[in-house]
Amino acid sequence: MKYISCAKTDIGKKRDHNEDSYLLDLELDLFVVADGMGGHAAGEVASREAVEALRDNVLAKKNVLQSFLETPDNDTAELVRKNLELAVRVAGYQVFGMTEIDPDRKGMGTTLSLLLLTPTAAFIAHVGDSRIYMIREGKYRLATHDHTYVATMVKQGKMTEEQAQRSRYSSVLLRAVGPHDYVQVDTRILRHKIGDVFLLCSDGLHGYLQDGELTNYVDVRDLPGSMDRLIRMALDRGGKDNITGILVRIDP
């Protein structure tokens, strides 16, 4: 089994710098998208620092992943899941530490969506409103839940999807990596199969996708072309934010 991947980022039409960061680590089969926030270029610093710290922490515990690869059972899978959760929290603590040193960066942070692929399972860790989708046999599903005020209101039945899209609070995050010394991390384990495609993306991309149309842009046989089409779609529909995406396909 192998993983075919491609990534692309674009500054968009409204921003003067790119606060998104991403990672394709083919040694660990680790893929990450992070969307930074904060003034004085702090968002760019936060996303980059979080991604680098995350990779370092996963690499430092590579023996945990190796144990799962050798013996892929529930116990070793749980150890990998917990390790990823801890790695995100440690990354968050490191970003928070930077804000303690430099008052100008107070409150800076980043979203973080992580996909770790193994031959038998896909591990996901997630904070914020970047997203991970899984596409299978022409259909897709969202594998993460947005940690935003409006997403919570919709989940609680206090707001409709249409109201959420129009709300002035649509970009208000309830969770992010870095603003505080501790962050709650969502994790899950998915079973994948040959032909599945994962899309990791910042809200500068998925914010322009309409319901049901993701598969119109993704040709599972042509990931680079698909990524180009997704970026172009976001630009054509406004491009008000930085735009970043990673596509990964499971091959035999």
Q: Which amino acid, 18?
A: N
Q: Which two tokens stand for residue 158?
A: 């206090």
pLDDT digits (tens, 9 = 90+) for 172-200: 899 999 999 999 999 999 999 999 999 99
Domains of the chain: residue spans and CATH: 2-251 (3.60.40.10)
Q: Which two tokens stand for residue 163?
A: 């109201």
β-pairing verdict for 122-127 and 30-37: unpaired
Q: Provide the β-strand partners of residue 139.
A: 136
pLDDT digits (tens, 9 = 90+) for 43-69: 999 999 999 999 999 999 999 999 999
Closest CA to 132 of 148, 119, 145: 145
Low-confidence ranges of the chain (pLDDT < 70): 39-41
How remote is the C-alpha of 172 from its chain's centroid? 17
Taking the model in full, what pTM does it have?
A: 0.95
pLDDT at 165 (0 to 100): 77
Q: 57 by DSSP, 3-state: which?
A: helix
pLDDT at 40 (0 to 100): 60
CA distance 21 to 9: 8
